[in-house]
Amino acid sequence: MAASGGYNYRDGTQRSSHKVDRPLSLNSNPKSSVKSKALPASGPRRNSTGSIGGGGAGPATSKNDTGVPGRVRVAVRLRPRNAEEMVADADFADCVELQPELKRLKLRKNNWDTDTYEFDEVLTEFASQKRVYEVVAKPVVESVLEGYNGTVMAYGQTGTGKTYTLGILGEEDTAARGIMVRAMEDILADVSLESDSLSVSYLQLYMETIQDLLDPANDNISIVEDPKTGDVSVPGASLVEIRDHQSFVELLRLGEAHRFATNTKLNTESSRSHAILMVNVKKSVKGRDSALTSQNGNNSHMVKSLKPPVVRKSKLVVVDLAGSERIDKSGSEGHTLEEAKSINLSLSALGKCINALAENSAHVPVRDSKLTRLLRDSFGGTARTSLVITIGPSPRHRGETASTIMFGQRAMKVENMLKLKEEFDYKSLARRLDIQLDKLIAEHERQQKAFEDEIERITIEAQNRISEVERNYADGLEKERVKYQKDYMESIKKLEEQLVMNQKKHGSEKITNGPEDDGSNVTTIKESCRVHVEEIDDLTKLLQKETLLRKAAEEEVQTLKIQLTQWKRSEAAGNSEILKLRKMLEDEEHQKEKLEGEIATLHSQLLQLSFEANETSQRLDRNEPGKVGALESLMTQVRHPQLKDSGNEEKTSIAKLFEQVGLQKILSLLEAEDNDVRIHAVKVVANLAAEEANQEKIVEAGGLTSLLMLLKSSEDETIHRVAAGAIANLAMNETNQELIMTQGGISLLSMTAANGEDPQTLRMVAGAIANLCGNDKLQSKLRGEGGIKALLGMVRCGHPDVLAQVARGIANFAKCESRASTQGTKTGRSLLIEDGALSWIVQNANNDASPIRRHIELALCHLAQHEVNAKDMISTGALWELVRISRDCSREDIRTLAYRTLTSSPTFQAELRRLRIDN
């Protein structure tokens, strides 16, 4: 069948009603989904100096977070035979054979020979879309929601189901929804659109040109790389805010309509471009408030200072690659041939980059293609990446199937270094400070206005009272004066009238009585004078009394005048206080401007320090000699972030810190009051403890004691995690193990495990206890101080890395117990069984994670070597697991040990005979 030679948009009239590469039946019943919140598996980081990530540090990360290594996870998905293959290949067997329970795939070379390959997941032709999403994309989506970058990509031959796996909308059948739609459903369910933001870009890479699927006119978008962080962005692309699921589906439908597609021999609607969906997630983490007290004269003011909110920025990239194809099989001609060449060139460039990363090559050819430039963070960078490779069963395409499988095998060797992307939201802090300052200014103005109004009211009231008192006393004095004057005149008039009457009476008596009566008249006159004198005295006393009252009134008036003067002085003092408050307001405005300047400076310094810290962390992880700042300079920057880094001094590697700083000085910083200083110091000690040559020096200098004190005294989760990791490294030495136990280390590790929630912290603690479990001399003491119960308590986390360390500790403990029982130094049941560990061991004996399963299988074999444990193992079902291990275990040494244990135990043999089971 010849190709048409042209191409159509996906909404063109020539588009088929459904694709040939729609591969799957939806009648499967998959297993339960993968574990929630699963972080990448831990382990030694592969030294990939040349990587698609550019070797540079990622964007600004939280100062309390370090990179987490994560290998690229690869799943293989088989498409069922289509109608054409059922006819053409009816007489031929499929070229692939899947063993999903073993996560294994066999590729037939001929009728006799096959090649076997193992993957992280093997999905049969009956796997549902939900099953594919949960094992391939859901762990990546959960990492994106926690602040990490993530990538989901589909690779395979044309017509094997890549677009069906990723991009199908499932509007008619919701069970057929692809990874893009299901991922957005989970993201929308987790984010809060009121405080968080969610935006989408949808691009296609066609003929080495980046085009915007949401705006077809925007057809030549450039790629921009940040010279400091190495981040790749496409600022010219449309960025659409997503508010609900329906709007996202509409965007996908619009983008698919603009994507280039054409008809080939392999697919009636073959994608002729690579589609890239970018989902940008921005989540806010609320900061805690703190209060600062500032003194100004005699007044104390509480100034509320808000910690900058932490913003986590992450990006989910979903890549639907165009299908790899051979020109002779696809029948491409003309323009379609040029498209096929461009597709094959970009896929070839991607394969070269992955080969270089898998082989730890010093050079990775990232710039050979725009596709590899866009995906530089997905392979060897800081993103968590899942790759699904799609294959078909037809033996005619065995070569393409083998090429696809080898691409997936090489991709599994690539390791990324995950980085949590956090930054402080200084703009939000500035807005909140502005609002707070405006409130303070408004409150100050309100208080000032109220104070001025109160002063004015009191002044007017005082003036009114003084005026009223003056009027009342003036009126009273005038009334009293008029009254007493009137009384005085009346008294004088009465006296005159009485005197006239007395004179008249005296004259008439003198005429009547004659001279002999002179004596009696004189007496009468004297008596009258005496009465008048007494009245005059009374009037005088009354006048004196009124005079005293007037003086009292005048004194009261004087007192009121003094009070008025005091009020005027108080008003003057109030005006002075108002001036001081205005001065304080001006000072606060200056302080605000100064704070804004300092915030901008701190922001730039924080970005610089984060960049340098990331570079330093990468070099320390690789033990690569390079530019690493001396400890004093680093600590000075932590204590005084306002000081600018000169950037001109030659920096040395961690290996030279002993010569430049001295181990004692480094350890002394573990007791610093500044929490940031302690965090950086404990990270340096942890990196030093990773080298066996440094461990003895650290212990001799008291570093072990300092690390244990940090576990006891600090409440910082980062310090707990890094200190526990350093103790785990030191616990690899037998001499150090005894010191840890002597200094109460197991109790502190148990307490940290009981209080910890972070999976990485629990992994470090479990690793330290697991190392201690391998010491024969410490068995009883470790169990007595709660070591076994602490291990079993950490299984609550459910994280596979934590469970792997718990399983390793139980296996070490069981091995030591077995050795002690063989030597005759221990009798009785296993301490593990007495502490209730056997039920958990049985439950996880067939765990999907190979590290957990391998350690559990070893623990069961060691426990079964002693007859005293046989009855407990039979009653809990451990015997069945032991039989399974002896038959189906992938490791021959464990399988042989299980078989030898079963055959050497009379109790087990009797039970197997009773159950009629052949061993």
Structure-token match 């297993």, residue found: 31
Phi, psi (degrees; rounded to nearest 5) at 767? -65, -40
Torsion of CA 525, 527, 532, 535, to 10 degrees: -170
Which residues are bridge partners to 104 per DSSP? Answer: 99, 118
Confirm if 534 and 504 have CB atoms less than 8 A apart: no
Confirm if 344 and 324 have CB atoms less than 8 A apart: yes
Q: How far is CA 845 from the centre of its chain?
A: 34
Question: Sign of dihedral through CA atoms 844, 850, 851, 853?
Answer: positive
> Binding residue per annotation — 162?
yes
> Binding residue per annotation — 372?
no
Sheet containing 8-9: order of strands = 8-9, 260-262, 270-271
Measured distance CA(273)–CA(874) in Å, rounded: 60
SS (H, E, C) 877-901: CHHHHHHHHHHHCCCHHHHHHHHHH
The closest of 21, 545, 581, 557 to 270, measured between CA atoms, is: 21
> Binding residue per annotation — 157?
yes
What's the half-sphere exposure (Cβ side, CA atoms, 13 Å) at 450?
6
- CA–CA distances in Å: residue 182 to residues 126, 141, 240, 884: 19, 10, 19, 38
Measured distance CA(525)–CA(533) in Å, rounded: 12
| Buried/exposed 786-818: b ≥16 CB within 10 Å, e otherwise | bbbbbbbebbebebbbbbbbbbbbbbbbbbbbb
Structure-token match 């993530």, residue found: 150
Intra-chain end-to-end CA distance of the chain, in Å: 59
> Binding residue per annotation — 43?
no
Residue 370, amino acid: K
- The DSSP bridge pattern shows strands 274-285 and 310-320 to be antiparallel
- CA–CA distances in Å: residue 725 to residues 683, 692, 760: 10, 14, 9
Confirm if 377 and 72 have CB atoms less than 8 A apart: no
Measured distance CA(638)–CA(72) in Å, rounded: 35
Measured distance CA(438)–CA(452) in Å, rounded: 21
H/E segment holding residue 119: none
> Binding residue per annotation — 745?
no
Measured distance CA(429)–CA(449) in Å, rounded: 30
Measured distance CA(438)–CA(433) in Å, rounded: 8
Torsion of CA 94, 96, 101, 102, to 10 degrees: 150
Torsion of CA 450, 455, 460, 462, to 10 degrees: 140
The closest of 696, 764, 773 to 741, measured between CA atoms, is: 773
What's the token pair of residue 403? 């090429």
Helix axes 179-190, 138-145, angle to 10 degrees: 30
Coil, helix or strand at residue 354: helix
What's the half-sphere exposure (Cβ side, CA atoms, 13 Å) at 540?
6
Other CB atoms within a 10 A radius of the CB of residue 351 amount to 18
> Binding residue per annotation — 287?
no
DSSP code at position 776: G
Tally the residues of the chain: 919
Measured distance CA(438)–CA(442) in Å, rounded: 6
Confirm if 773 and 809 have CB atoms less than 8 A apart: yes
Measured distance CA(569)–CA(493) in Å, rounded: 54
Binding-site sequence positions: 156-163
Binding-site sequence positions for ATP: 156-163
